[in-house]
Each structure stands twice: as structure tokens, then as C-alpha cells.
Structure 1
Amino acid sequence: MRSHLDDPCLMDLQDAARMWRVDGFVVLPGFIPADELSAVVNEVDQMFPSAAGFHDDTDPRAKRFIGDEFAGIDTFPFASTAISLLAVNHRILDLAESLLEDSDIRLSSAEAWAKYTGACDYDQDLHRDYLNHTLLVPSTTPGHRQLEMFVFLNDVPEELGPPHLVSRKHTADLPAVPNWYLRPGREGTGRFVDDSGSPDLYAAEVSGAGPAGTVIAFETGTFHRGTQLTAPRGVRYSMHLGFRSAGLHWGQRAGWAAQGFERAWVDFVHRATPRQLQAFGFPPPEHPYWTPETLAGMALRYPELDLTPWSTSAQHS
């Protein structure tokens, strides 16, 4: 098993973009500094049980996570506003813009995920995510790529189930179908499933293990899989984010207006910056949408939002 943890210069966005284009992914250990994670760590319990709360069955929410690897997912907007803001942290937006080579990007999905040792089987087969992230198929053409990220909210060594990924060097010639390549000894049916065992693919896996704040950026067409949590009384908290260029209309996973009336969404908007809100589709300050009429309406819908950045541009339009 290889690891990217010791690769130099991963904190440089140009180097990260170069590795992302070559391999289809890049692992950035500790990309989000501890001081920018502290508010998130303090609010995780608003969403998920602690390790003790789950393993001692003292948290009434613990039963939710038993038997289904996806039961630990909360979707944006989150009960924790700090975790919602982390989804569009300035470092994450910088990284997304660099990798997608576009300053006008959209957050197409955001999920927070808790996993607990023994809750269920988290060991996945190698797959790509494109089937529920795009209406088409993945493209490596500049301007047409889609980006996903895993963000670790706590330390995730190998025994806490980090994702494993396979470089495009080993998968570039694989067709769009099948999409799942099962582990040796497993059987499956359907045109999206290959159950030949794929030993070469599994031998080429790279671990994404890393400390809290690690970001794993990968393309929608990159083969990857979740792995088992084996640490006694273990827990893994992470986020899964999706980004696309604003004009890439076929890359869709979530429609944010469906949550636009929820209190958690309003709390997020009140604390977000114009740049963060633009990632959800808010027009930038200089956009002709901003008029006295729309600003008056926004003041009613979001009474604690500072509309100065948008109102200033409207006055000069």
C-alpha cells in the first residue's frame, strides 16, 4: 500500500493541480489548519454522537448508524453552522478554483459523514461517483471536469477507514461502463458491475490517510472506495463536497433552493461572505440582479445579512 503523505510541496496549489490532473486525485495532509477547524470540532456533537456516546450506547442517536454505511450522512445545510461554513472555507474555494481552472464555481453537493467502528461494513468496492453526480460521463477536458473532496474533521489513520484511490495512470483506458470493480471473491450482476476480481486495480490503491484538516481532492471519474474502521471504539468525522464550473449544467447533485426556507440555511447565509454565497449561486455584487427591489426583498428574507457589498454595486449601476 502506497501513500502520498510524504510527497513534498502538496500545500502549493499549482503542484496540487498538476498532481490532480495526472493522477485524478491529490491528498493534502492538514490542508485546513487546526485554528480554522476548532469551531467545527466544538460543534460536531450538534450533529453526531461522540465515540463514547456511540460505543457505550449512551447517546440516543447511536442506533441510527447501525447496519447502513450511508446512515451517518447529514446533508447541507447542517445543524452546525460552523460545519456549513467549512464547506466553503476560503482555502477549499481556492483549491477548487485552482483545480477546476475557473474562478466562477458552484458547490454541487455537501455532506457531513460520521462512521463508527463496528456500526456496519464500510469496506467498499472500487467505483467512480459519476452515476449520481452528472447526467453524462466524466470528462478530462479543461472546463468540463467535476471535483469532489473529502475533508477530515478528525485524524484518520489507516485503522479509521480512509478512502483508497487509484491513479488515472492505471485506469485511463477503462470504459465508462462497468462502474463497480468488485473485490476478489465477490459476485455481482448487471452491466455496471465487473466481478472479475480486478487484482491489478486493488494492488495500485493509494491510501488517503491523514491528520485532521486533510483534504482529498479527486475527479468524478477517479476510482476510489471507502475502507473498514478497525480501531477499537473508533470514529471518523468527515465531509464530502462536490464542485463544478458554473457553466457545467449537467453536473448536478443537489438543488439548494429546496432547503432555502430552513433555519439552518438562514443561519448559514447570515454568517457567509459574498464569495461563499456565490458558490451556491448567489449573483456576485456587480451583477444586474441587484436592484433596490431585490435588495429590499433580501433584507426581509435574511434580516441579519449585511447587504453592503451588493447594495454598493447596485447604487453605481
Structure 2
Amino acid sequence: MSMDVAAVTREIARRGHALIPSFVTGEELKRATAGIEEYFPDPETTADGTLDVGAFKHAVPFPFAANALNRLVLDPRVVEVAERLLGTRDILLTSSFVQAKYGTAYGDTKDQALHNDTWAVNSLLPPRTDGVYQRLFGIVYLTDVTVDTAPTYVAGRAGDLGVPLITADRKATYGKDAYPDLYARERPVEAPKGSLLLFTGDLVHRGSAYRGRHGRRLAVFFNLHSAAARWTGKHLWAMLPASPGWPDFCDLMAELSPGQRQLLGFPVPGDPYWTADTLGRLADLYPGIDTAPYTAALRERG
């Protein structure tokens, strides 16, 4: 799964988005697909074909039961793109969820209005779209995406299109009546399964309805921001050891690098939080975790 991080970063900086085909492939793709199907089964493969699609939650938040999904959200290549684009290594995961859209045989889905995401999870300050104040969003498609299977439509960056991030009626959405030219410019992002779409918060885009009668579109959504934008809301990823999914989550935490754990709010090696006591309790909490980077930084600190 090679990915030219520098080229992807340049493309995002230039046009606000980049599509990375084959972001996840082979066995990893199979495991991720199996993980998301735990939430969103295929009604066409059930014994009697009467699966009640309406009974499913169509958005499930991180952390997920399958670490194959969790790893997609914390992928080091995406972290590196975020670090290069935002110009800082202090990156946090804002939010993440998995979602399904089903064919019209199981109920209708809706077209979104074109919008930007700069205002999402941030309602205190006017958004900025430069430097450390940018937001990076991602969608990993775990099924093939065509014009009939709910593609993401992209029009371009708000600044390039000459539209405000916040409209006169205090919204980050652009209705067809007021902004017909945007809808004339939009294009669907068609992508094979395993692709990743990365984009900045000022990209004018929208989700679309599922047009086909059967099938599903399965996807993992996430977004990142820098700690410098401390007014930007973020979810808390706390999971109690008594939680049903704790053992798998515990395994994930043990395998992550310090930089990946930082996305979830872990203090970096060298942070004053780390003491001999907290490191000892960390090892108890996550058996198998490598505390060496934290221990070495503690020794250097004195």
C-alpha cells in the first residue's frame, strides 16, 4: 500500500482534495470490510431476504469493534499528510464514524446540499483555512462508488469558487436556488473500493443519494485538527476496561506508535504527565505496550 505522501499533500494544498486509490488493499481490505459489515449487513445475502435495513444505525462512532477499521482512522500516512499540510506534529482526531447507504429497495436516501465543513464541530470562531488552523477530512470507501451508489460530489474550494465560508444567513450550505453555478460545476467522485478521499474543510462538496435499487455503500469517515485550534471540539475516546470492546481496543492501543496515540489525546513522550507512577500504571492498563519512548524521555527530563 504505497502512497506518495508529498504528492498527495501538494494536491490537497492546490485543489483542496485528493483521491488515493488502493489506499487499503488485500487482506486488510477484507478485514475492514468484514468489520463494517458487523454494523451494516448485506440484506441480499440473508437467508430469507427480509433483513430490516431500517433497524440499523446508519452512523456508528469510533472506536469500532474491529481494529481493522480503527487502524484506517489512525493510519500513519494520513497523519503525515496532516502534519505536512498543517505544519505541525501536534495533530488530534476530531471525530470518526462508519456509515452505510442502501439501495432504494430498502428505503430512500437523500441528496445533501453543497456545503463546506469548516464550521463543523467548531461554532465559536470564524474558521480559518490556512496553516495550523486547517481541518483535514477523510472518507475511506469500502465498496465501489459509482454515480448510482451515493458518490461524494465536489465543486471546488470556497475561495476558488468565490463563495463565503459562512453565508449571509449564517450557514455553511449553498442551496441550488441561491448558488446554481456551484451545482453546474460539481462532479461525482467515483472510486474503487479501498480508495481514500482526503479534503480540506473549505472544499465545497456534498453527499448524494443512493440511486441503485440494490447494494450498499460502506464508508469510514474521519477528520483531524491541530491542537493549536483549541476551540475546535473533539470527541473523547475514553473506553472503560469493563466495556465489551475493551480487549480488542486494548490490543490496538498496545500496537500504536506514540504519534498515533497522540491523535487520541495521549501526552507525547516528555510531557510532564509522564512519571514513573503513570508509566507503571500505563503498562498495567495496556499489557504489551512499549513504554520505552516515554521512559527514555522521562530520563532525559531528569
TM-score under structure 2 length normalisation:
0.84
Does 2:266 match 1:303?
no
2:172 is matched by which residue type in structure 1? Answer: N
What residue ranges of structure 2 are gaps of 5+ in the alignment? none
Distance 1:159 1:254, change over 3 A: same
Question: What do the CA deviations read for 1:101-126 (whole angstroms, capped 9, x no partner)?
Answer: 32221111111111111233231111
Distance 1:271 1:246, change over 3 A: same
Q: Return the alpha-carbon distance in structure 2 between the equivalents of residues 54 and 115 of structure 1.
A: 17
Q: Residue 91 of structure 1: CA displacement?
A: 2.1
The range that moved more, 23-32 or 74-83, is 23-32
2:108 is matched by which residue type in structure 1? Answer: C
Match of 2:19 in 1: 27
Q: What percent of counterpart residues are identical? A: 29
Q: Return the alpha-carbon distance in structure 2 between the equivalents of residues 284 and 300 of structure 1.
A: 19
Q: Which of residues 236, 239, 242 in structure 2 aligns to 1:255?
A: 236
Determine if contact 2:137/2:201 at 8 Å carries over to the other structure: yes
Match of 1:43 in 2: 35
Match of 1:152 in 2: 141
Structure 1 stretches of 4+ with a deviation exceeding 6 A read: none
Aligned-residue Cα RMSD (Å) equals 2.6
Determine if contact 1:132/1:253 at 8 Å carries over to the other structure: no
Distance 1:54 1:272, change over 3 A: farther
2:175 is matched by which residue type in structure 1? Answer: L
Match of 1:191 in 2: none
Match of 1:127 in 2: 115
Question: What do the CA deviations read for 1:278-301 (whole angstroms, capped 9, x no partner)?
Answer: 111112233332221101222333
What residue ranges of structure 1 are gaps of 5+ in the alignment? 1-9, 66-70, 184-195
The range that moved more, 87-96 or 30-39, is 30-39
Question: What do the CA deviations read for 1:41-63 (whole angstroms, capped 9, x no partner)?
Answer: 23223222125258965446x33
Q: Return the alpha-carbon distance in structure 1 between the equivalents of residues 49 and 257 of structure 2.
A: 39
Determine if contact 2:36/2:98 at 8 Å carries over to the other structure: no
1:223 is matched by which residue type in structure 2? Answer: V
Q: Return the alpha-carbon distance in structure 2 between the equivalents of residues 211 and 284 of structure 1.
A: 36
Question: What do the CA deviations read for 1:192-232 (whole angstroms, capped 9, x no partner)?
Answer: xxxx2522100111222111221111222221111121233
SS at match of 1:160: coil
Q: Residue 243 of structure 1: CA displacement?
A: 0.4
Distance 1:54 1:181, change over 3 A: farther
Q: Residue 12 of structure 1: CA displacement?
A: 3.2
Determine if contact 1:290/1:314 at 8 Å carries over to the other structure: yes
1:64 is matched by which residue type in structure 2? Answer: A
Match of 2:76 in 1: 90
Match of 1:3 in 2: none
TM-score under structure 1 length normalisation:
0.81
Q: Return the alpha-carbon distance in structure 2 between the equivalents of residues 120 and 167 of structure 1.
A: 27
Distance 1:314 1:175, change over 3 A: closer
Does 2:180 match 1:199?
yes
